[in-house]
Amino acid sequence: MGTAPLATGFEGVTLYPGYLDGAAQADLLAELAQAGVFAQAYRPTMPRTGKPWSITQFNLGPLGWVSDISGYRYEAQNPHSGTPWPAMPDMMRRLWDELSDFPAPAECCLVNLYTDPKARMGLHQDRDEAALEAPVLSLSLGDTCVFRVGGFARGDKSSSFRLASGDVLLLGGASRLRFHGVDRVIAGSSQLIRGGGRLNLTLRRVTKPDATP
Ligand code: SIN
Ligand code: MN
């Protein structure tokens, strides 16, 4: 595991191309399947309107990020099953330890599943965490996507680059609150996931470390 970072043109946005090699990607995918990610992924809905997203989601670790008609929030239990989220895979814990430069562990591993070839994610900020001093670490698996990074207001100038399977992207420091999103997924660009598609695993620290027991 491990590659040198590439500058993306945005201070605090760091790309590690191919950080996980093919064998590690396949191991992680098997572990995610075992944890029920594919079987139990659900379709989130938008706050207020209840409009369904084009992706499906699941969570691993002590806290899960949830979006539904009542809003965005973190939950210790899966609201669809009423049970705690499965444990965070060791490989994701290790990625956080190696790359986050943050003294406390990640609490949420959000899994975004881009299964529909038209699935995308509009520009948004990750701002539901109290620990904004910790970076957001995201790992891509499967088909390549066109990832967009903007500024600190929705209409700011933005630019895009590709994220391929095994790539790790960090949004930290001055860029922690940059708008970002996924324009599209390039179907057929990876053989990792049977049937195609893309998975994104996002690690976040949610609570301030000194506020936890
Ligand atoms: C996200 O911002 O939550 C997901 C980004 C991605 O799918 O790469
Ligand atoms: Mn995000």
Cβ–ligand 1 contact at 59 (below 6 Å): no
Cβ–ligand 1 contact at 180 (below 6 Å): yes
Q: In this structure, which ligand is nearest to the CA of 57?
A: 1
pLDDT tens for 19-59 read 999 999 999 999 999 999 999 999 999 999 999 999 999 99
Q: Is residue 190 part of a domain?
A: yes
Q: Is residue 212 part of a domain?
A: no
Ligand 1: which residue has its CA nearest to atom 7?
A: 200
Model confidence, pTM: 0.96
AA identity, residue 24: A
Q: Is residue 210 part of a domain?
A: no
Ligand 1: which residue has its CA nearest to atom 3?
A: 202
Cβ–ligand 1 contact at 200 (below 6 Å): yes
Domain count, the chain: 1
CA of 13 to the centre of ligand 2 (A): 13
Closest by CA to 201, choosing from 71, 111, 102, is 111
For the chain, give the DSSP string: -----EE-SSTTEEEETT-S-HHHHHHHHHHHHHTTHHHH-B--B-TTT-PBPSSEEEEESS-EEEEETTEEEEESB-TTTSSBPPPPPHHHHHHHHHHS--SS---EEEEEEE-STT--EEEE-----S-TTSPEEEEEEES-EEEEE--SSTTS--EEEEE-TT-EEEE-GGGTT--EEEEEE-TTS-SSSTT--EEEEEEE--S-GGG--
Cβ–ligand 1 contact at 201 (below 6 Å): no
| Whether pLDDT at 212 is above 60 | no
Domain boundaries, position 164: 6-204
pLDDT tens for 63-105 read 999 999 999 999 999 999 999 999 999 999 999 999 999 999 9
Q: Is residue 211 part of a domain?
A: no
CA of 121 to the centre of ligand 1 (A): 7
Question: In whole angstroms, what is the distance from residue 8 CA to residue 163 CA?
Answer: 12
How does residue 213 score in pLDDT terms, banded at 50, 70 and 90? low
Q: Is residue 209 part of a domain?
A: no
CATH code at position 80? 2.60.120.590
Q: Angle at which helices 22-34 and 90-99 pack, to 10 degrees? A: 130
CA of 194 to the centre of ligand 2 (A): 25
